C-alpha cells in the first residue's frame, strides 16, 4: 500500500490581470501549502477497476471525482494491467477555496506513479495534471511559489514560512466559475506582487501581513454576503491579518499568537468548519 498526503493551499496574494481568449483569467498569485491535508491510500487490484472509498461524499458519481480521472488517465496512458483501490481520509473542507480536489488529484498522480513504479518526474506529473485543473501543478509540488497564467506557471520561492493560520469555512457552496464570471476588470485594484515577495525573502512578517491581497474578495462578498459578514465579525478580534482563500468561502485568520487563534476557533467551532494549522 502507498500513502500520499494531499495538502491544502491558500493564496497570500491573488491578482486578476485580465481575461484570456480561452475564457479563463490571467492570474498572478503567491501560493503556499498547509500542514492540513487529506490522506490517500493506494493499493493494487487484480481486476482493472478504480474503486474509491471515502467516508465523505465528494462527488455524486465517482467518475466525476478528480481522483478517478487521474487514476484513469494513468492507467490508460501507461497501459497499466491492474486496477487500484483508493481510500480517501478527507479533512480539507470540500469546495472551501483550499484546493482540496486539486490536492487529492495531485496526490493520486504521485501515488499511482509510486504504486506502479513509473518513475515520472514531478514536472511530468504536473504537466499531466494541468489539463484537469489549474491548481494541480502547484499541488503536485507543494512548494511556496509565485503562480502565473491560469495558475500553472510556477516560480518557486526558497523559503519556509511556518505561519500559524486559522481556517474558518462557512456552510455555503461557492462556485469558482460563478465568481470569475462576475469579475469586472475595471473594478480590480492594481497591486504589485513585489511587496509580498520582498516580505517573504526578507522574512518580514509585518510586511507580509500588510500585503495580503485577494482581488476576488469584493466579487465573492457581493455574490455571497455571508463571507463578508464573517470577515467583519473576525475583524472585531483584531488578528494580525485576514484574507479569503481563493474564490471562498474560507476565511484565513493570521496571528503569531496561537492561543488567540484557538480562542477565535472556539467561538466558531459549532457553526463553521474550523481548522487550526500552519503554512509550510
Residues labelled as active-site residues: 9, 135
β-strand partners of 279: 34
Tell the residue number behind the cell numbers 474578495, with chain if given. Answer: 217
Q: Which of 236, 221, 215, 233 is nearest to 272 (CA)?
A: 233
Taking the C-alpha atoms of residue 13 and residue 155, their distance in angstroms, rounded to an integer, is 14
The answer to whether the CB of 8 falls within 8 A of the CB of 280 is no
Strand, coil or helix: what is 22?
coil
Cell of 204: 518580514
Distance between CA atoms of residues 176 and 11, nearest Å = 14
Q: How far is CA 24 from CA 47, 75, 127, 208, in A?
A: 39, 29, 18, 28
Sign of the torsion formed by the C-alpha atoms of 156, 207, 6 and 106: negative
**Torsion sign (Cα): 220, 223, 226, 229:** positive
Q: Which helix (H) or strand (E) holds 83?
A: strand 83-89
**Residue 171's closest CA among 117, 224, 240?**
224
Q: Which of 234, 192, 233 is nearest to 213 (CA)?
A: 192
Using N-to-C axis directions, what is the helix angle for 100-115 and 122-129, rounded to 10°? 130
Q: What angle do CA 203, 208, 209 make, to 5 degrees?
A: 135
Amino acid at each position: 500500500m502507498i500513502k500520499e498526503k494531499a495538502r491544502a493551499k491558500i493564496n497570500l496574494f491573488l491578482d486578476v490581470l485580465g481575461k484570456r481568449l480561452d475564457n479563463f483569467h490571467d492570474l498572478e498569485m503567491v501560493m503556499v501549502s498547509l500542514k492540513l491535508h487529506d490522506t490517500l491510500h493506494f493499493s493494487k487490484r487484480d481486476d482493472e477497476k478504480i474503486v474509491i472509498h471515502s467516508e465523505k461524499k465528494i462527488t455524486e458519481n465517482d467518475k466525476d471525482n478528480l481522483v478517478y480521472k487521474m487514476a484513469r488517465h494513468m492507467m490508460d496512458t501507461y497501459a497499466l494491467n491492474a486496477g487500484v483501490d483508493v481510500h480517501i481520509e478527507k479533512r480539507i473542507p470540500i469546495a472551501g477555496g483550499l484546493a482540496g480536489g486539486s490536492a487529492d488529484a495531485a496526490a493520486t498522480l504521485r501515488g499511482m506513479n509510486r504504486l506502479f513504479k513509473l518513475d515520472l518526474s514531478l514536472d511530468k506529473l504536473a504537466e499531466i495534471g494541468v489539463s484537469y485543473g489549474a491548481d494541480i501543478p502547484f499541488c503536485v509540488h507543494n512548494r511556496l511559489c509565485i503562480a502565473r497564467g491560469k495558475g500553472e506557471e510556477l516560480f518557486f520561492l526558497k523559503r519556509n514560512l511556518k505561519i500559524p493560520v486559522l481556517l474558518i469555512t462557512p456552510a455555503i457552496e461557492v462556485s469558482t466559475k460563478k465568481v470569475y464570471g462576475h469579475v469586472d476588470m475595471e473594478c480590480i485594484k492594481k497591486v504589485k506582487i513585489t511587496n509580498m515577495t520582498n516580505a517573504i525573502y526578507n522574512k518580514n512578517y509585518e510586511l507580509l501581513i500588510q500585503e495580503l491581497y485577494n482581488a476576488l474578495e469584493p466579487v465573492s462578498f457581493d455574490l455571497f454576503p455571508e463571507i463578508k459578514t464573517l470577515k467583519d465579525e473576525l475583524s472585531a478580534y483584531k488578528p494580525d491579518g485576514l484574507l479569503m482563500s481563493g474564490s471562498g468561502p474560507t476565511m484565513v485568520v493570521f496571528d503569531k499568537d496561537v492561543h488567540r487563534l484557538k480562542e477565535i476557533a472556539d467561538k466558531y467551532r459549532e457553526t463553521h468548519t474550523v481548522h487550526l494549522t500552519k503554512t509550510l
